[in-house]
Amino acid sequence: MTLQKNRFSSRPAQWDDVEIGDAVHVHRDGRLEHAGRVDTRTADGAVVWVVSKGGHRRLFHVADGFELSAADPEGARHADD
């Protein structure tokens, strides 16, 4: 799949446009919390697991105030590498 920048909004009710393998940045309060690829997500799009380039895997819930944005799959900045 080809990732398009801004394919999904930064504050959706759910992250249902996110697909496994998408390169993403996860922000909260304007701060980059995590970056990597979507490892998996719930069917309703409320929860995603993102694994960084270094292998650190984190769970994020849309209701916790996180913003998810598309990242350049080739040059994604990684917050915790």
11 neighbors 67 (Cβ within 8 angstroms) = yes
* Lowest-pLDDT range of 21-25, 42-46, 74-78: 74-78
Give the pTM: 0.72
DSSP 3-state assignment of 63? helix
**Residue 72: pLDDT band by 50, 70, 90 thresholds?**
confident
pLDDT of residue 6 exceeding 50, the answer is no
The mean per-residue pLDDT over the stretch 2-21 comes to 62
Q: Where are the domains of the chain?
A: 1-73
Class of domain 1-73: mainly beta
The mean per-residue pLDDT over the stretch 23-31 comes to 93
DSSP 3-state assignment of 62? helix
